[in-house]
Structure 1
C-alpha cells in the first residue's frame, strides 16, 4: 500500500511520455497526398492557381493534415498574396507551435509585406528554438538581410500603400 501513490504517479508519467514520443507527424490521406503532389507539380510548373486549387481540394479531403497549410501559404506568396500566406502560416502554427517552416515562412511573408520588425521577432524565435545554423533560421536571416521587394521599397519611399 505504501507504493500505491508512487506506482500510480509512475504509470501516469509513463503513459504520457509514451503517447508523446509515439505521436509524430501522421501521413496524409492517400487522396489528399495525390492532390498535394499535383499541387506541388503545378506550383513547380508556375501554375499557381492550379496549385492552390489542388491544395484546397487536399485540405477538404484531409483537414487535419497541417502541412497542407504550408503548401497553401507558399502558393499564396507566389501569387503575391502575403496576407493570405501569413494567415495560412498562423493556422499551421496554431496546430503545431514549434513548426520551424511555418515560423520561417511567416517571417519571409512579413518581410515581403514590409513588416521587418515582426519578421525579426520570428527570427529571434527561430534562433531560440533551433539555433543559428538551422536551415529555416538561415533562410529567414537572408530574406531579412535582402529586405522587402524592390516594388514595395519604392512604394514606401514615395509614401504609397506600404507606408499606411
Structure 2
C-alpha cells in the first residue's frame, strides 16, 4: 500500500517523458535554395556589390528563416554600408537562433561600439570570454575595438578643432 503512490507517480513521469520525446521533430537541414542564395550573396559581397548582396541575402533569410549565416552576412553588409543599427538587429536575429554564436556576438559588439553603446559591447565581450575557454581571437578583436572606442563624428571633430569664443 505504501508503494502505490510512488508507483503511480513513476508511471505518470514515464508516460510524460515518452510522449514529450516522441513529439519532438528532428532538426531539418537549412533549405537548399536558401544555401544557394547565401553563396550568391557571398559572391556579390566579395565583388563589392553591396546592394545586390543585401537583396540576395534577404531573400535567403526569407526562404529559410533558420539560416543564421544569412543573418550574419546581412549584418556584415549593413556594417559595410554604414548602418550599425540595422547590423545590431540582424546580429540579434542570428543570436535568437543560436545564442552562443561567438562570431555573431563579436559582430554585434563591434556594431554596438559604432553606435557608442560601450557598456553593452562589454557584456558581449564577457559572453564571448565565458564561451571561449582558452585563447579566443574573437574576444581579443572585440576588446581592441572597444578600447579604440566609437568613431569620431563630424560634429565631434568640429567642436574639438574649434576653440570656444570668449
If the TM-score is normalised by the length of the shorter chain, which range does it land in?
0.7 to 0.9
Match of 2:102 in 1: 100
Alpha-carbon separation, structure 2, partners of 1:95 and 1:135: 23
- CA deviations 1:104-137 (Å, max 9, x no partner) are 1110011122222221121122212324622321
- Cα-Cα RMSD: 3.1
Aligned twin of 1:116: 118
State the TM-score, normalized to the length of structure 2: 0.74
Does residue 1:156 correspond to 2:132, yes or no? no
Aligned residues between the structures? 156
C-alpha distance in 2 between matches for 1:90 and 1:34: 23
Which runs of 5 or more structure 2 residues have no equivalent in the other structure? 161-166
**CA-to-partner distance for each residue in 1:4-63, whole Å, 9 max, x for gaps?**
75587579779989xx9xx77x64211111110010111111111111011011112112
- From the superposition, tell whether residues 138 and 3 of structure 1 become closer, same or farther in structure 2 (CA, over 3 Å): farther
Q: CA deviation at 1:89?
A: 0.9
Q: SS state of the match for residue 63, structure 1?
A: coil
Closer/same/farther in 2, CA of residues 58 and 93 from structure 1, 3 Å limit: same
Q: Counterpart of 1:133?
A: 135
CA shift, 1:84, in A, is: 0.4
The structure with the largest alpha-carbon Rg is 2
Please, which runs of 5 or more residues in structure 1 have no aligned partner? none
Q: Verify: 1:64 aligned to 2:66, yes or no.
A: yes
